[in-house]
Chain A
Amino acid sequence: MRLGNLLQLGIKELRGLARDPVLLVLIAYSFTFAVYEGANTLPETLNRAAIAIVDEDQSPISTRITTAFTAPYFSTPRMISQYEMDRRMDAGLDTFALDIPPDFQRDLLARKGPSIQLNVDATRISQAFNGGGYVEQIVGAEIAEFLARSRQAQAPQIDLALRARFNPELKRSWFGAVDHLIMSITMLSIILTGAALIREREHGTIEHLLVMPVTPLEIMVSKVWSMGAVVLAASALSIAFVIKGWLAVTIEGSVALFLLGAALHLFATTSMGIFLATVTGSMPQFGLLLMMTLLPLQTLSGSMTPRESMPLFVQDIMLAAPNTHFVMLAQAILFRGAGLEAVWPQLAALAVIGSVFFVIALRRFRAFLA
């Protein structure tokens, strides 16, 4: 492997990309508007959740509870009858329906331990599971306050002072922005290398390279470094101008360290792009394989839903994917301000995965050229 050849071939790749306006526009879009949109469209976990209340008690306490559900977490509660409740839930109009039974206040004061029913539409995944807890807290707090005023209860005064670190308001937009950045990095690096290789083969230029004194290793390394460098530069600009500037997200840690991680990640994903291009014969096949690769990478890497909630075997399998480690690393560095001493395991994992992918891709690439 000679550095001179790597440089020359890499520059050739960059010049080729510079002359392809469609790809340039897509790269620009992916690192600017896609990131911005990704940050701003995601609602906070509980954002204007639709709630309906069946108030069969019509007492001061039931009124109190009714007025406690406010924006931005909840939409203004809709007062409905019990008959309407099922129909509205079936139609997907309400995520929550709270049923306060008749004589609730009387029973509560008489210490009969009455019950309130909360119906949750469990098909509304994220709202259902997190929102249930909110509703419970709000109802609990209202009842406690009501009781505290109606008589002096001797409850232990132990408060739980809960604070969220790194993202005190738990803004999902911060998370969404970084999530999209990671997605763009993965998607572009695979498409840029893979599709370009298929196109080069279709146009016969790859064969032309082979009669020159260059080895397949040099050809592949130059594709990896040049496309990796483009995506890396775009990521750095995106962090500086879109995430920090436009979206005003607080970045805690070292951007340089993040970019080091991104470089290792790109090493793995660009190799993956070459691998996919070598196992498929045509662009439609590549397209299908691309979908089948990107989708699990995106959804199971821990960027969309927390890794902890996946079944163990999925978690284990996903340890082989570079994205998983990259997401951990990105979250640790960008949000928690972690340093090298905290993220070295991820860096090491990315380096190992990247090397394995690279070697596999190189073997396929050699066979593909023969």
Chain B
Amino acid sequence: MSTTAAAEAPAAAGSVVHLEGVGLSYGKARALDAITLDLPAGCMVGLIGPDGVGKSSLLSLIAGARAIQDGRIHVLGGDMANSRHRRNVCPDIAYMPQGLGKNLYPTLSVFENIDFFGRLFGHGKTERSRRITGLLRDTGLTPFADRPAAKLSGGMKQKVGLCCALIHDPELLILDEPTTGVDPLSRRQFWELIASIRAGRPGMSVIVSTAYMEEAAQFDVLIAMNAGQVLATGTPAELKRQTGADTLDEAFIRLLPEADRGNHADVVIPLRSEDHEEIAIEADHLTRHFNGFVAVDDVSFRIRKGEIFGFLGSNGCGKTTTMKMLTGLLPVSEGTARLFGNTIDAGDMSVRRRIGYMSQGFSLYSELTVAQNLDLHARLFKLPAETIAPRIAEMIGRFDLADVADALPDALPLGLRQRLSLAVAMIHAPDILILDEPTSGVDPVARDQFWQILAELSRKDNVTIFVSTHFMNEAERCDRVSLMHAGRVLTSDTPAAIVAARGTATLEQAFIACLEEAIADTADAAIPPATAPAVATETTAAPRKRGMTFNPTRMLAYSRREALELRRDPIRATLAILGSVLLLFVLGYGISMDVENLTFAVLDRDDSAISRDYSLQIAGSRYFTEKSPIIDYADLDRRMRAGEIGLAIELPPGFGRDVSRGRHVEIGAWVDGANPTRAETLRSYAQAIHATWLAQKGRELYGEAAVAGSYQLQLRYRYNPDVRSVVAMAPGIIPLLLIMIPAVLAALAVVREKELGSIVNFYVTPVTRLEFLLGTQLPYVVLAFANFLLLVGFALIVFRVPFTGSFPTYAAAALLYVTATTGIGLVISAFMKSQIAALFGTVLITLIPAIQYSGLIDPVSSLQGVGKMIGLVYPTSYFVTISRGAFSKALGFGTLHSELVALAVMIPVLVTAAALLLKKQAR
């Protein structure tokens, strides 16, 4: 138990969290403003309020996941602005962020996920297995221990998340909307689980935010929030009494300031007149498989024109898949789907004009303004040009979007975005609206407004509405509802009929009864109801390691997890390893300085024996290929411009005669200077051939005397006597490949965590920045080193590049080098936020310097300017020297030690830079 925290916080008895004037801004937007609160210890505290009012921000501040901007936050008796206190206290806090399984690793199994958290909190092997066994048993997850987190239902993901949160016996449990998007049965099980855990650990405080008022009614204390401020605090009964409301929903609406309440009125949906019997949507034994997995299994229903048809079920039960099949987005595996009697064809554009579809999460173009979004859709749906402007104006008026017409969707609160999505879906006046969870995460007021619009559309405009939802009060408003579970429709009728058939008091209870019955029939029956868990764990709490000292166990926990993820993504590892071998092959053969097959042609204005002999001399060289003779200057110009000839020789009239007479003659020669490297080669070859011819002719014409004074220049190409380019290139390419691929992999590993949200585990667990970075880096160092061995083997065996130096020295240098190159990736990842930016940045930072400034082609010593400066500090420069020395120059540690030292020095510099740039809290 947390003796330290208790000792430090004698004054804070009775209050677990104390907030004073807390404020938070994202850019210009104010998320929280002057919040002052005292949360009692040992209680279940609920945070209620619409989406986007700052609930999640407040929870992440309390958890220490986000840096404090204004005000003071005391948690468990210490100041959360103090990093020492945060480190001390974080083993006592557990935080489960919003989003189903947001902090889980999708490819890891249930057991591995929980095990990872156990390792982060420094539990030993036996301790871990004891705790995990207990937690899995208590949550009924034991049969699913080996299932990857990605393949769990929403409710199960949340239970795994809870196990991860509870593994270290926290004093304070923070849950951010843990049941949003979870089916009623799982929701009930989840709260039973929390209740039994609290029974076993009475001292534990729980802070929960929720969008479900019926859940909130069970909590000890509620805090109602709106627009970054606290509206009221008190027990549910107190809040109801204060406002004189019967339900918490109503109480909350009455707490809202007049302006936010809008013209709120209870949703009244007039009865449907039964004169429309035309069938709008018809699903007949609809089935959909994904690689052997049955997502939708034999679903049939009929929806009449103008009806509001509700679809209920947990996440992943097949609602979205069914809706997508009805829109033509997904082809049907078996069965048929018909709209107004016509079978749906995915390619048929006329069907799409009759449907308005609102996908989950409102996929609007965040880069277009509200008006631009409407305009784009109007044009794509081919509204006549003259009607577009009036139609947009009508939509803006009807959905009350006038104030935000020029705003970007991301800047709008969720309720407004939802209305915009509906406006977009309605722009072309479709007959059918298919709405996939349109009200998830939206506050009660906005939801009611939304349903008012739906009611109007259905009853006035006779639009058929097919809507999925998690909210029971919304389901009750539908004309008919279907409950789906595991791809099958369990029941389908009017809400009243379902309640009557089950004989329950509410629709929710009726559904839970249906679900329990369905589950009893399937293999998932193994889930026992969350029995009072014998959570024996807290009685023998492991001694906790506190403080910032570097802890190898935590580092290795990250390494292990990263390695597991890498193993589960074989494409990535294979691409990395085989890709580099392929590149070595391509580049080793491709980059070559042995210039051969140069083209030349002759403009022979003399056409004598001697002039022909001169041409033959060039043609005889293995470097040159002769093209047809040049006719005149125009021909020469044309063919040179076209790149057909690289060297043009003009032999002047009377060339043979003048040579024989020993007169001064000048041969004209032009080389194509477009590619300077090739031009240099051409020039030197031409001069060499000219000189040889001259010496020969001299001997023929004037005898040995003329060549007296000759000498030989013995050319010795050292380290590569055959002058094979590949021998020179392969040792240079290995360093190139060992920087680009490891750097990209390491950079994306961290940025991916940021983008997908699991980075929050780093924020709220005792992991230090160094442990996190080194732990993530280690598997990539190992991978890169294996890659190195493979590349060297390939160079030796396939390219037959002789290896003359000391292999141990080379291998040691390679290890240092790949540590440095993965370090570069970490530095990039520390300040990049999106994967695209990290990818782009890594390409720019590695590709160009490694190819051009690191001595691969031109020695660093002959570079100039910025390029030289980069070359001097870039690790590749040093490893190129080592690689070439070890391969070709028979060098060992004695000669190469200074380069090794240079590489070794870069590692701490890079890792420190990454650690300094990386933030331990979100900002």
Chain A residues within CB distance 8 Å of chain B: 4-5, 8-9, 11-12, 15-16, 18-20, 22-23, 26, 29-30, 34, 37-38, 40-50, 89-92, 95, 104, 108-109, 111, 113-130, 132-134, 136-137, 139-140, 143, 147, 153-168, 170-172, 174-175, 187, 191, 195, 199, 203-205, 207-208, 210-215, 280-292, 294-296, 298-300, 302, 304-306, 308-311, 313-314, 318, 328, 331-332, 335-339, 342-343, 370
CB atoms of A116 and B858 under 8 A apart: no
Find the A residue at minimum CB distance from B861: A50
Flag B888-902 by CB within 8 Å of A: 1 or 0 each: 111100010000000
Give CA–CA (A109, B867) in the complex, Å.
47
Interface residues of B in 851-889 (CB under 8 A from A): 851-853, 857-859, 861-868, 881, 884-885, 888-889
> Interface segment, B72-80, B445-453, B587-595, B816-824?
B587-595
> Interface segment, B97-105, B254-262, B626-634, B677-685?
B677-685
CB atoms of A158 and B665 under 8 A apart: yes
Q: Which residues of A contact B863 (CB under 8 A)?
A: 41, 43
Give CA–CA (A306, B717) in the complex, Å.
22
Q: When A166-B673, A338-B642 are in contact, do A311 and B592 touch as well, CB less than 8 Å? A: yes
Q: Which residues of A contact B642 (CB under 8 A)?
A: 332, 336, 338, 342-343
Q: Does B694 contact A (CB under 8 A)?
A: yes
Q: Which residues of B contact A210 (CB under 8 A)?
A: 329
CB atoms of A213 and B748 under 8 A apart: no
CB atoms of A336 and B675 under 8 A apart: no
CB atoms of B709 and A213 under 8 A apart: no
Nearest CB of chain B from residue A9's CB, rounded to whole Å: 8
Interface residues of B in 693-711 (CB under 8 A from A): 694, 697-698, 701-702, 705-706, 708-711
- 6 further interface pairs, Cβ-Cβ under 8 Å (given A90-B891, A214-B380, A285-B572): A34-B848, A48-B862, A90-B895, A92-B859, A143-B709, A163-B670
Give CA–CA (A137, B859) in the complex, Å.
22
Q: Which residues of B contact A161 (CB under 8 A)?
A: 666-669
CB atoms of B679 and A113 under 8 A apart: no
CB atoms of A332 and B688 under 8 A apart: no
Q: Which residues of B contact A147 (CB under 8 A)?
A: 709
Nearest CB of chain A from residue B548's CB, rounded to whole Å: 31
Q: Which residues of B contact A42 (CB under 8 A)?
A: 852, 858, 867
Partner of B684, one of A127, A134, A300: A134
Give CA–CA (A291, B851) in the complex, Å.
13
Give CA–CA (A223, B365) in the complex, Å.
15
CB atoms of B670 and A164 under 8 A apart: yes
CB atoms of B714 and A115 under 8 A apart: yes
CB atoms of B884 and A123 under 8 A apart: yes
Find the A residue at minimum CB distance from B357: A211
List 26 A–B pairs whose Cβ atoms lie within 8 Å, in order of A's numbering.
A22-B834, A26-B844, A41-B865, A43-B864, A45-B677, A116-B714, A125-B725, A133-B681, A156-B698, A158-B665, A159-B667, A161-B666, A168-B673, A170-B679, A191-B839, A211-B327, A213-B382, A283-B748, A287-B839, A296-B586, A305-B677, A306-B677, A306-B678, A309-B678, A331-B643, A337-B641
Q: Which residues of A contact B301 (CB under 8 A)?
A: none
Q: When A19-B367, A165-B670, A296-B590 are in contact, do A124 and B662 touch as well, CB less than 8 Å? A: no
Find the B residue at minimum CB distance from A205: B363
Q: Which residues of B contact A300 (CB under 8 A)?
A: 586-587, 590-591
Q: Which residues of B contact A311 (CB under 8 A)?
A: 589-590, 592
Nearest CB of chain B from residue A296's CB, rounded to whole Å: 5
CB atoms of A115 and B712 under 8 A apart: yes
Find the B residue at minimum CB distance from A48: B862
Q: Which residues of B contact A298 (CB under 8 A)?
A: 847, 851
CB atoms of B671 and A296 under 8 A apart: no
Give CA–CA (A160, B592) in the complex, Å.
28
Partner of A122, one of B582, B677, B719: B719
Q: Which residues of A contact B368 (CB under 8 A)?
A: 12, 15-16
Partner of A120, one of B596, B672, B716, B729: B716
Give CA–CA (A322, B22) in the complex, Å.
58
- Residue in A122, A126, A167, A311 with the greatest tally of chain B CB atoms within 10 Å: A122
Give CA–CA (A332, B702) in the complex, Å.
45
Q: Which residues of A contact B868 (CB under 8 A)?
A: 41
Q: When A47-B862, A125-B728, A159-B665 are in contact, do A287 and B714 touch as well, CB less than 8 Å? A: no
Q: Does B546 contact A (CB under 8 A)?
A: no
Give CA–CA (A153, B866) in the complex, Å.
50
CB atoms of B673 and A165 under 8 A apart: yes
Q: When A157-B663, A211-B357, A310-B592 are in contact, do A137 and B687 touch as well, CB less than 8 Å? A: yes
CB atoms of A120 and B839 under 8 A apart: no
Find the B residue at minimum CB distance from A301: B590
Number of interface residues of B (CB under 8 A): 153
Q: Which residues of B contact A49 (CB under 8 A)?
A: 862
CB atoms of A158 and B694 under 8 A apart: yes
Find the A residue at minimum CB distance from B683: A162
Q: Does B659 contact A (CB under 8 A)?
A: yes
Q: When A90-B885, A126-B857, A332-B643 are in contact, do A156 and B380 touch as well, CB less than 8 Å? A: no
Q: Which residues of A contact B687 (CB under 8 A)?
A: 133, 137, 160, 162
CB atoms of A41 and B677 under 8 A apart: no
Flag B567-607 by CB within 8 Å of A: 1 or 0 each: 00101100110010011001101111111111000000000
Q: When A187-B843, A195-B839, A292-B583 are in contact, do A160 and B667 touch as well, CB less than 8 Å? A: yes
Q: Which residues of A contact B711 (CB under 8 A)?
A: 104, 108, 113-116, 143
CB atoms of B717 and A305 under 8 A apart: no
Give CA–CA (A210, B859) in the complex, Å.
53
Find the B residue at minimum CB distance from A327: B675
CB atoms of A156 and B708 under 8 A apart: no
CB atoms of A283 and B329 under 8 A apart: no
CB atoms of B718 and A121 under 8 A apart: yes
Find the B residue at minimum CB distance from A330: B674
CB atoms of B673 and A170 under 8 A apart: yes
Partner of B744, one of A128, A208, A288, A335: A288
Give CA–CA (A160, B682) in the complex, Å.
13
Q: Does B842 contact A (CB under 8 A)?
A: yes
Q: Which residues of B contact A115 (CB under 8 A)?
A: 711-714
Nearest CB of chain A from residue B410's CB, rounded to whole Å: 10
Give CA–CA (A298, B740) in the complex, Å.
14
CB atoms of B586 and A306 under 8 A apart: no
CB atoms of A8 and B379 under 8 A apart: yes
Partner of B723, one of A18, A47, A129, A165: A129
Q: Does B500 contact A (CB under 8 A)?
A: no
CB atoms of B379 and A284 under 8 A apart: no
Q: Which residues of A contact B329 (CB under 8 A)?
A: 207, 210-211
Find the A residue at minimum CB distance from B708: A111
Q: Which residues of B contact A291 (CB under 8 A)?
A: 579, 740-741, 744, 843, 847
Q: Which residues of B contact A207 (CB under 8 A)?
A: 329, 359, 363
